Structure 1
Amino acid sequence: MNSDIICVFGGTFNPVHTGHIEIARHVHSQFNLDKILIMPSGNPSSYKDTSLIADAKDRCNMISLSIKDYPYMELSELEVKRPGRTYTCDTLKILKEKYNLIYFIIGADSLFSIDKWYHADYVMKNCHLLVANRDNLDDEMIKQRIEFLKNTYGALIDIIDTPALPYSSTVIRENLKNGVSVEKMINPAVYDYIMKHGLYGVKSSKLEE
């Protein structure tokens, strides 16, 4: 049996930003993990309006630019290449063919909806959840929710020790569209990529500046 351990960081990454990279960096050091797969979703089940999402190829390219200086981070196209809706349980089933232990990074907000996920019971029994409190939710509320999920589903859950991460892909997209600075929010190479390809409603005049 393969004894490999992997950590998965999934999401739309629309676009990938500094906060995402900081979370992955802290997971690497806190849990001593050799490899973190940065896994953009293809057709995420949670998005009603997929027109707001940049093309998968562009999101993958931006991730590659963001992680090039971190050898333990690796882009995974597993979900973007899979047709149809993207469900975490299906991703875990595929990864379990190769890995014995799977860590899975989620935002603290997902703790309060994870029991509504497709085949939630399977998800919580087949990965070790690592929680990033990126929305600065109440710590006590998070702890209570974790205890509930542990007692109800037997879930394995740990909290990632990260500083406040005031970054949001939604805010970044709005700032880009409105010509507001996104300095420090995204990798400079990602910014250049967005400008070059006119993503997120960037006006052509900005491409010429």
Structure 2
Amino acid sequence: QQVLADFPQRAEMIQLAIGDDPGFRLSTVEAARPGPSYTIDTLRHLYAQMVDPAAVDFFFIIGADAFLEITSWKSHQQLLQTVHFLVLGRSGCVPTEVVALVERLGYEPDDPAGGWSHPSFHKNEGP
């Protein structure tokens, strides 16, 4: 059974991934949410805090191993339609499994560097 990283460890990994890139900012709001925390609820909270949600793009950086479980997440269809997922390779994950999943979810290749898009993606509309 895989041991999951706790929130501080995940936040540190994300901060290392985004570095000093001014286009990204780590949100730690989920750490302060009481009880079980679901990504869709955190995203709704973040959109509600935005003065101009149309001016913001949300990106969710996730390991391929976790992304392969996305269909078990609360309101995963809505998540996939409102946030950009940046899926990072992880040891033990076969890239073709991720490709097969995104194809099953209705995504289509749209970027030579490996990007995918979904026809029902609602940019900046929030969940």
TM superposition score category, shorter chain reference: 0.5 to 0.7
Q: Kindly tell me: are residues 16 and 114 of structure 1, through their superposed partners in 2, closer, same or farther at Cα, counting changes over 3 Å? A: closer
Runs of 4+ in 1 over 6 A off after TM superposition: none
Distance 2:102 2:14 in 1: 22
Which one of the candidate residues 17, 30, 36 is aligned to 1:79?
30
Partner of 2:67: 111
Deviation of 1:93 (Å): 0.5
Partner of 2:94: 138
Q: Distance in 2 between matches of 1:18 and 1:94?
A: 22
The alignment's C-alpha RMSD in Å is 3.0
Flag structure 1 segments of 5+ consecutive residues without an equivalent. 1-10, 40-75, 160-209
Residue 12 in 1 paired to residue 6 in 2? yes
- 2:17 alignment partner in structure 1: 23
> What amino acid sits opposite 2:38 in the alignment?
Y
- Partners of 2:58 and 2:83 within 8 A in 1: yes
Verify the 8 A CA contact 1:23 1:132 in the aligned structure 2: no
TM superposition shift of 1:16: 5.4
Give the Cα–Cα distance (whole angstroms) in 2 for the partners of residues 136 and 24 of structure 1.
23
**1:107 Cα deviation from its structure 2 partner:** 0.8
Aligned-partner Cα distance in 2 for 1:23–1:158 = 18
Q: After superposition, where does 1:48-127 map in structure 2 within 5 Å?
A: 76=28, 78-97=29-48, 98=50, 99-100=53-54, 101-127=57-83
Contact 1:131 1:158 in 2 (8 A): no
Q: In 2, Cα distance between the equivalents of 1:128 and 1:17?
A: 18
Larger radius of gyration: 1
Paired amino acid for 2:72: K
Q: CA deviation at 1:124?
A: 1.1
1:136, CA displacement in angstroms? Answer: 4.9
- The 3 A distance-change label for structure 1 pair 86 and 19 is closer
What's 1:5 paired with?
Answer: none
How far apart, CA to CA, are the structure 1 residues paired with 2:102 and 2:115? 9
2:23 matched to which residue of 1? 34
Give the CA deviation at 1:131: 0.4
Task: Rate the CA distance shift 1:18–1:120 in 2: closer, same or farther, 3 A.
Answer: closer
Stretches of structure 2 lacking an aligned partner (at least 5 in a row)? 108-113, 117-127
Secondary structure of the equivalent of 1:35? Answer: coil
- Aligned to 2:23, the other structure's residue is in SS state coil
